[in-house]
Structures are given as C-alpha cells and as structure tokens.
Structure 1
Amino acid sequence: MVTAAIIVGNPKTGSRTRDAAERLAAALGAETVVIEVAELGAGVLGFGDPVVAEAVARVQAAELVIAASPTYKGTYTGLLKVFLDQFATGTGLAGQVGIPIMLGAGPAHALAPELTLKPVLVELGAICPAQGLYQLDSRYAADDSLTAWVDRWGEAVHASVRER
C-alpha cells in the first residue's frame, strides 16, 4: 500500500480542501497522514519549531505527497507557502511523488495547480508525473472530476511510486 502525506493549506481546519485531498488519496488506495498547516501555529512562520519539524518529517516519510489548497487570488495560500518553505530546495521532497490539488469557485483558475503549485513541488525535489487536479469547490464531491483524473493519471502515479 502507498503511504501518502496530505498537506492541507486551507486556513480553516476540516475544510472541503482536506476532504477533496482525502478523497484523492483514497481513490489512489493510499494510507494517509494529514498535516493541517493551520494547526501548526505561529511556529510555521519561522524555522526550528519542533512541532513544525515533526510535521516536515512526517511528510518526508511518505512515498506520495498531496499538496492541497483552495485557490486564493489565482494561486495557493500563503499558509501553504510558509510550510513548504520549511523544506530544502532540491532535496526537501527528493524522490517523492507529488500531486498538487486545488479547489476553486469557478473554472477560470483551472490551471492554478499546474502553474503555481506544481513548480514549487518540483523545486523541492518531488516527481510530479501527473497533471495537477483542480476541482470546483461547490461540486467536487458529486461530479466525476476525481474519477476522471484517477482513470487518466492513477497508473502513472503508482508507477512513479514503485520506481522511487
């Protein structure tokens, strides 16, 4: 079974963003650990906080990293950014498989996972073998976007995890 770390960058805990990311992990058959960045407190704004260091270690122990954010002003949240800043450039997610997932209010930002979040995961060393997943927050749980994404990209994700 694949192990996945879900990083939730929504400022609100227990969000639709978290639910969508957990649905993605389940569809991929992954055993998950969830990091709600909003629960890490002010330590995420600096470096050396032991709670944040433990969260980073939990992410680095997983085979698959699902970075999840709502779409704010056409990009991912600053909260997710400050957490990702805790990982070393090039090596912080070295060899891990990364999937960006973002929820938004409309289709205008459908490329946000590809254009904003995937490049950060790659910069940190992650392998991103699939297109980022963008879902409408008003209907992500009821439409077929997740199923379509897994049908198209699931095997590539699993193959990449096996190869790491």
Structure 2
Amino acid sequence: MRRNTDLTIALAGNPNAGKTTVFNRLTGSRQHTGNWPGKTIERKSGRYKHAGMLIEVVDLPGTYSLAAYSEEEIVARDFLLEGQPDVVVVVVDASNLERNLYLVVQILELQLPVLVALNMTDMAETIGFEIDTDNLSDGLGGVPVIRMVAARGRGIEELKEAILLYTKQQSKERTPDPIV
C-alpha cells in the first residue's frame, strides 16, 4: 500500500483504546472519537512528516480480535493481511491490559512487525496498576512498548522515534547480505 510515502503504519487496537486519538496526534487530523464500539468502521488514513520521511498512518476499526465475524474485524484483518504495513502499532488500554493483549498476540501470530503503544498509563496508575514495560516487552518476544497518554500528547514523539528506529531495524534484518 504505497501512495508516495516512505512508510505505512497501521493503528490497530480494541475499541476505546485511543487509536483515533493517537491518529489525530500523529497526523494533526481532527477525526471524531467516540466512546462506543463500532465508531470507526472504515479505515481512515492520514500522513505526517518526521525526520524527513513522509509516513502514512492507517487508523483501523477498533476490534477485540481478528476472527472476522464482524465488519470491524474483517476490515482490520484484511488490511493487516493485504495492506502490507511497514509496522503495526497496536494501541493498548493500559487500564485493561489483559483483554487488550489478546489482539496483540493475534497480530504477532501474523508475523507482522509490531510496536505496542501502551496508552492511558495515567488511568492505569490511578487505579493502582504498575506496568513494567521492559517485562511486558520481553513477554511479547521483544516487541517495543511505548508508554503514552495520547489524550495529553505524552509519548507521541517517543512513538514517532520508535516507529523509525523499529522499521530501520526490521529493514536491516530483512536485507540479505551481498553475495561476494
């Protein structure tokens, strides 16, 4: 899915995990966010520039799984399988980690490059959750985990940097050594 951009990232996650807020912060858009499942049924895309690169962001519908029973699941799954994103940023609600990690694991099983945007960490801390991001990353096979409070803009620059760093690392891993 290249439209004259250097990178394409997909934003995936459960409904109300903050995907559209992350999308708006990254792209400068003003997509309306909703507090009910099914708010984003079609995928939306926008762009931003970072470190001289033009990056397309695709905001997928909120879904709890990739089982492909609902319209949201079908749209999200089809883009992940056919859209060839350079990286999938899974936006996770830190205050409801267990339920949100199910989708992360399903996306990892597709063998796609994944970053976890651990969003709403302020709310998680308010209710007494302490999340060790290094431990979480290790438990997910080394997937980078970025702490965020997207509604306040916290973690957005770190996410942008992580996207660039991770895609560069993935590119190096996929580039075969020259035959001498």
Q: Could you say which TM-score interval applies, normalised by the shorter chain? A: 0.5 to 0.7
Question: Is this contact kept in 1: 2:92–2:101, CA < 8 A?
Answer: no
Larger CA Rg, structure 1 vs 2: 2
Describe the shift of the 1:138–1:37 C-alpha distance in structure 2 as closer, same or farther (beyond 3 A).
closer
Q: Using the alignment, how far apart are the partners of 2:92 and 2:117 within structure 1? A: 7
Q: Using the alignment, how far apart are the partners of 1:162 and 1:98 within structure 2? A: 13
- Give the match for residue 20 of structure 1: 22
What's the secondary structure of 1:36's corresponding residue? Answer: coil
Which amino acid in the other structure matches residue 58 of structure 2? V
Query: Residues 23-44 of structure 1: CA distance to partner in whole angstroms, max 9, x if unpaired?
Result: 4584654212222324x8xxx4
Q: Using the alignment, how far apart are the partners of 2:20 and 2:60 within structure 1? A: 9
Structure 1's consecutive aligned runs of 4 or more residues displaced over 2 angstroms after TM superposition are: 15-18, 20-30, 46-54, 80-89, 106-120, 136-139, 145-151, 153-156, 160-164
Aligned-residue CA RMSD (Å): 3.8
* Structure-2-length-normalised TM-score: 0.54
1:162 aligns with 2:171: yes
Which residue, out of 55, 58, 61, partners 1:33? 58
1:71 aligns with 2:94: yes
Q: Using the alignment, how far apart are the partners of 1:19 and 1:136 within structure 2? A: 10
* Structure-1-length-normalised TM-score: 0.58
Query: Residues 83-133 of structure 1: CA distance to partner in whole angstroms, max 9, x if unpaired?
Result: 4465574xx1x2x3211111222684574554447744x4xxxx73xx411
Question: Is this contact kept in 2: 1:64–1:98, CA < 8 A?
Answer: yes
Q: Using the alignment, how far apart are the partners of 1:101 and 1:81 within structure 2? A: 11
Segments of structure 2 that go 5 or more residues without pairing to the other structure are 1-5, 28-47, 175-180
Which residue, out of 130, 145, 153, partners 1:132? 145
Query: Residues 49-102 of structure 1: CA distance to partner in whole angstroms, max 9, x if unpaired?
Result: 3742442231232120100022125x25x2x3454465574xx1x2x3211111
Q: CA deviation at 1:136?
A: 3.2
